[in-house]
Structure 1
Amino acid sequence: MRLHVGCAMWSLKSWQGRFIPASGTDRLRSYAGWCNAVEGNTTFYATPTLDTVAGWASQAPADFRFVLKLPREVTHSSFTDTSGLSEFLRVIEPLGDRVHALWAQLPGSFGPGDLPALSRFLRRLPDSFRYAVEVRDPAFFHEPRRLEELLADTGAEWVPFDTTEFFRTPPTSDAERDAWLKKPRMPLRTEALTDRPIIRYLGRDATDRTVDGWRRWVPIVARWLREGRSPTFFVHTPDNADAPELCRRFHDEVRALVPGLEPLPEPPPLPAPEPDGPPTLF
């Protein structure tokens, strides 16, 4: 029984010296001491090199989960441009079973009328990976049956992005105001289609607001675990400053309802910061 929790990245400036080292190249290794999953958002913008991915593999434990976003030229072309997909699949091979799912985040312009293209795409993909789809047209949430049937037929999961708590009241910080303009206002969805549900949750900069907003998810995730599912829950906040710590708090709250769930390991201590200058006698 495993619950995986994680953030939208494994390195952030505000985390340096707190969750990850202030310098060096082992930040993923330190992040993996706090969380056991991560969203691979950078792969949306550019396919990494094979050496880069091999470096990720060397730092991530065997039970760590990467949910990697498919390249945007694939997902944002209604799947008419898949020329780079073979190279993408090749370079992520060093991650092996750590690739929990390949995630197609579709634009708001992708609507129910485009489902045949999604169906053709999913059916052409190799069965060596699992797949997940995030849609941003509200029409899918109001009439979900066609998309649910397509995903069920292809074994893919529907990834909801819960932004309901974030948009409940107006923003109060620069980070929240920025997110207010960029994040999608999505209807709430709490159903799972497969044995590996993936949830993306956006809270607020205030910890109490973030925790209050995820309260509905705690019993849902606990039920999934009791059903034998293996969920992954990603915590976002507008500034993400406390996100690794919040992930562990969510895990603890679920574990309080599911005592058989093993606790996350304690994070290892960070290396001592390097001195700013040469040593002195005084």
Structure 2
Amino acid sequence: MSHQVSEQRCYIGLTQWQHAAWQENILQRSQNEHILKAYSRHFSSVEGNSTFYGLPKADTVKIWTEESDPTFRFCFKFPQEITHRNHLRSTTKETSAFLNRLQPLQEQLGLLCIQLPSSFDSDHLPTLSNFLLNLPEGFNYGVEVRNLCFFDKQETEREFNQLLAKNNVSRISFDTRALFNDPSDDPISLKAKMHKPKLPVHAISTSKYPMVRFITPLDWELGTDYLTPWINKAIHWMDEGKTPFFFFHTPDNAEAPELAAYFVNQLEKQRPGSCLFNPWLPAKKQDNLF
């Protein structure tokens, strides 16, 4: 990275920095304190999904720089206009606008994420190669694919992995196994299964900054067995001198902080001090007035 990072430690984050369910624990703050400031007291990174739908205002980016710790890392998604509508073709202008808008945050950027739709298959690899070749230096990038051809363990996957490694771009892993192996059919779970990809997990690191996205069933404790291999993988990556990013989801994200805290606790039993994470105090209980 062009800026300093904490080597051989894991960045820990969620898919967003505010949620109604978090107000009494991780988002406890004074009336005038920005909600991002409260979030970044505990988590060292966040997935910036809002940029997928449009560029933030310049004033908003300025606020983000002011209200987060200098060691905090934002991992923003490329706009869907670039990745989904145009499949990375003829997007020089849009890509420049995206990166220029985030320029004030450059020292606080982790990975910029190129999430590709399931329609992006092996026929598009030359387009991806050209796109990566023309990306400016000074940023770190990751690619998430959702077409099964990139999980075939054959020529297509090898070519894809080699392309990413050649350009020092991370292959982002999205582990949805716990979600899809859970039989729950409540509306929240069904909605999550409708929108999340059901794909194999190939835990391959093609850059110095691996990224893992992990989602559980609504009852997140039913998915913790799937975390054990990631704990071992995190230790392996750190032993290689890499700096992993881990992001935690649940179908409604209400208890995603608890899931993240569980992962940190389990990992630090084996590797104390390996996570950039600060636990929060339990929610304050109101005194009984009667």
TM over 0.5: yes
Contact 1:33 1:268 in 2 (8 A): no
Contact 1:109 1:137 in 2 (8 A): yes
What is the root-mean-square deviation in Å for CA atoms of aligned residues?
A: 2.2
Mapped partners of 1:263, 1:213: distance in 2? 21
Q: Residue 172 of structure 2: which of 141, 155, 159 is its match?
A: 159
Mapped partners of 1:49, 1:270: distance in 2? 34
Mapped partners of 1:230, 1:265: distance in 2? 18
Query: Do structure 1's residue 7 and structure 2's residue 14 form an aligned pair?
Result: yes
Query: Do structure 1's residue 264 and structure 2's residue 277 form an aligned pair?
Result: yes
Normalised TM-score (structure 1): 0.90
Q: CA deviation at 1:161?
A: 0.7
Query: Do structure 1's residue 40 and structure 2's residue 48 form an aligned pair?
Result: yes
Worse overlay, 130-139 or 200-209: 200-209
State the match for 1:135 in structure 2: 145
Query: Do structure 1's residue 20 and structure 2's residue 20 form an aligned pair?
Result: no
Amino acid of the residue matched to residue 15 of structure 1?
Answer: W
Aligned residue for 2:47, secondary structure, equals strand
Aligned residue for 2:110, secondary structure, equals strand
State the match for 2:130 in structure 1: 120
Q: Residue 78 of structure 1: which of 83, 87, 104 is its match?
A: 87
1:202-221 superposed matches below 5 A = 202-221=215-234
Amino acid of the residue matched to residue 62 of structure 1?
Answer: P
Aligned residue for 2:177, secondary structure, equals coil
Contact 1:43 1:70 in 2 (8 A): yes
1:267-282 superposed matches below 5 A = 267=280
Worse overlay, 16-25 or 126-135: 16-25
Normalised TM-score (structure 2): 0.88
Aligned residues: 273
Query: Do structure 1's residue 55 and structure 2's residue 68 form an aligned pair?
Result: no
Worse overlay, 134-143 or 80-89: 80-89
Worse overlay, 157-166 or 256-265: 256-265
State the match for 2:204 in structure 1: 191
Mapped partners of 1:174, 1:24: distance in 2? 36
Extract unaligned runs of 5+ from structure 2. Answer: 1-7
Q: CA deviation at 1:181?
A: 1.3
Worse overlay, 120-129 or 218-227: 218-227
Q: After superposition, what is the alpha-carbon deviation per residue over 1:28-78, rounded to whole angstroms, capped at 9, x for unaligned?
A: 111112211100110000100111011111111111111110011111111
Identity %: 34
Contact 1:219 1:257 in 2 (8 A): no
Contact 2:25 2:280 in 1 (8 A): no
Aligned residue for 1:216, secondary structure, equals helix
Mapped partners of 1:270, 1:170: distance in 2? 31
Contact 2:12 2:275 in 1 (8 A): no
